[in-house]
Chains A and B, each alone.
Chain A
Amino acid sequence: MMTMKVSRKEVEHVAFLSRLALSEREAEEFTRQFNQIFKQFEKLNELDTSQVEPTSHVLQMQNVLRQDSVRSSLPIDEVLANAPDREDGYFSVPRIME
């Protein structure tokens, strides 16, 4: 398989998807490092996994379900205690245009 090449522009785009703006140095560094790291990742292509099931859980557990019963919620002041900004019992954020 062809080696994936990572460009700085791409790194910055993916950072934007994660809502991060990278500094000059970070963008530079990440691009260089990701190219090295992806080379390591591509070692996985040495393995034929066409007949292999993916593992997302090591435990073969199923149907962990709870009864539909109401438990008390947090008091509103505790809900909002950590809020960087609040208004009238609501969380407040910069205006969103709809």
Chain B
Amino acid sequence: MKYEVVIGMEIHAQLLTKSKLFCGCSTEFGAEPNSQCCPICLGFPGSLPVMNRKAVDHIITTALALNCTVARESIFARKNYFYPDLPKAYQISQDDQPLGERGYLDIMDGSRRIKIRRIHLEEDAGKLVHIEGEPFSLVDYNRGGASLMEIVTEPDIRSAEEAAAYITELRSILRYIGVCDGNMEEGSLRCEPNISLRLHGAKEFGVKAELKNINSIRAVQRGVAYEIERQSQILDEGGTVIQETRRWDEASGTTISMRSKEEAHDYRYFSEADLVRVVVDDAWLNRMAAALPELPQARRERFIAAYGLPAYDAGVLTESKEIGDFFDKVAAISHDYKVVSNWIMGELMRLLNETGQSLEQSHMTPEVLAEIIALVDKGTINLKSAKEVFEESFHTGKTPSKIVADRGMAQISDEAALSGIIEGVIAANSKVAEDFRAGKEAALGFLVGQVMKETRGQANPAMVNKLLREKL
């Protein structure tokens, strides 16, 4: 392509706090409209904000995870604009002196570095509901005043793949550090890429379009790819891209221009007198740094180095912190790491997907998986049985040994018991036994099959083979 793609990304992440940013109203998702509101988040005359400490903690944690400089002194500002989802007609946000600045995030196995410009804390707006054909719109302020984090990158992203990789990695980090649930469909993580093209080597940026309504990582990739294609076509034909906000339309797989704004925005930022400054001292910063968990990239590298896992496995296992933690715990007991990885990437993830449960909600524990692996290892059960045991443990929490005993799944590895059965089979199939003795190797398979049939599949196949050969 003759154009260089330039993408900057703005992320809004709803912070995992129990109460809103400036009042005690609950932030639980899915409540009855306007049931989680009070004079403060409704902007009733005379009400005043008081900041949630946890929200500030979350921003500091994120700033540290994204290699930002944490502002030792941070202030809040009002961003003034009229919109019905904004009860005070200003949003309490940060302008100068945001909590975090000048960080970076490495993506694509560390081959690309995306610089972070700033991270700041602000309040969320309410939700507008439009009903087809009605002359009115409805407003629900449950989300209004919830704590929101804005993360802005430098225009360092160069392709749709990188855009998707950035948001994937970022989401993974936000989940690791427990500041955001990363749910893009419910809107707790919203991403707004701005995309422009320019000729390779050009100094000036092209005109950018901002994308909204992106509800999944797939949509990031598709939306950005579409936008790159759209803009390059315009430029190829000698046209000019206009600066605008475009809405990603999942159904048609295109972006659609939103009604252009009637005025250039003049938000008239100025200091919020109802709040005082936030000062982050060494003790606070150190406390947050100490609580920072191992991040996905470091964990990926460790899984490859310490466990000898393929890069692919390490990637899958570390995507969520839960799974990575789980792997670490199983691996402490079971030392065939690739086998552990196969179980987790196969059975465990399949069942989590099918049931829609989280690991925590299921009954699976590291001890259970380690026990199942050991049972297979010792030859107590075969792999097929092991998968059944796993599934039952996953659903019921019963221990593998109990399931094996209850369902009589243990393989018969007792020589004495097998000898009797084998002798019976040889006697009943003397013709076939003769064939084998005459050198017809294939006849053995038939005899093994008969033994397995007699034992309803529970005979240890290796032992049956060995005993048959001996007795013939």
Q: In the complex, A touching B, CB below 8 Å?
A: yes
Interface string of B391-411 (1 = CB under 8 A from A): 000000000000000000000
Cβ 8 A contact of B32, one of A76, A91, A93: A76
- Interfacial residues of chain B within 55-75, with CB under 8 A of chain A in the complex: 55-56, 75
Give the shortest distance, in Å, between B42 (CB) and chain A (any CB).
7
- CA distance in complex: A17, B82 (Å): 9
- Interfacial residues of chain B within 304-323, with CB under 8 A of chain A in the complex: none
A-B pair number, CB within 8 angstroms: 124
Stretch from B131-139, B328-336, B360-368, B423-431 that touches the partner: B131-139
Would A63 and B278 be within 8 Å (CB), given that A73-B35, A89-B32, A91-B34 are in contact? Answer: yes
Give the shortest distance, in Å, between A19 (CB) and chain B (any CB).
6
A92 close to B38 (CB less than 8 A): no
Is B472 on the interface with A (CB-CB < 8 A)? no
For A79, the chain B residues whose CB sits under 8 A away are 34-35, 37, 42, 141
Is A38 on the interface with B (CB-CB < 8 A)? no
Interface SS of B by simple majority: loop
For B293, the chain A residues whose CB sits under 8 A away are none
B33 close to A89 (CB less than 8 A): yes
Closest to B57 in A: A68
Closest to A59 in B: B276
B273 close to A87 (CB less than 8 A): no
A62 close to B277 (CB less than 8 A): yes
A93 close to B37 (CB less than 8 A): no
For A98, the chain B residues whose CB sits under 8 A away are 130, 258-259
Give the shortest distance, in Å, between A10 (CB) and chain B (any CB).
13
Interface string of A56-68 (1 = CB under 8 A from B): 1101011111111
B84 close to A95 (CB less than 8 A): no
Would A95 and B134 be within 8 Å (CB), given that A71-B24, A74-B38 are in contact? Answer: yes
Q: Number of contact residues on B: which range applies?
A: 35 or more
Is B199 on the interface with A (CB-CB < 8 A)? no
Interface string of A33-67 (1 = CB under 8 A from B): 00000000000000000000000110101111111
- CA distance in complex: A3, B271 (Å): 26
Is B241 on the interface with A (CB-CB < 8 A)? no
Would A70 and B25 be within 8 Å (CB), given that A93-B136, A94-B137 are in contact? Answer: yes
Stretch from B45-53, B220-228, B440-448 that touches the partner: B45-53
Is A69 on the interface with B (CB-CB < 8 A)? yes
- CA distance in complex: A98, B213 (Å): 12
A96 close to B56 (CB less than 8 A): no
If A61-B276, A65-B52, A96-B84 are given as contacts, then 5 extra A-B residue pairs at C-beta distance below 8 Å, sorted by A number, are: A62-B278, A65-B50, A68-B55, A92-B137, A93-B138
Query: Can you sample 18 A-B contacts with CB below 8 Å?
Result: A57-B276, A57-B277, A61-B277, A62-B279, A63-B278, A64-B276, A65-B56, A66-B24, A67-B53, A68-B19, A69-B24, A70-B24, A71-B19, A92-B139, A93-B136, A93-B138, A94-B135, A95-B137
Residues of B within 8 A of A (CB): 17-19, 23-26, 32-39, 42, 50-56, 75, 82, 84, 128-130, 134-141, 258-259, 263, 266, 268, 271, 273, 275-279
Residues of A within 8 A of B (CB): 17, 19, 56-57, 59, 61-74, 76, 79-80, 85, 87-98
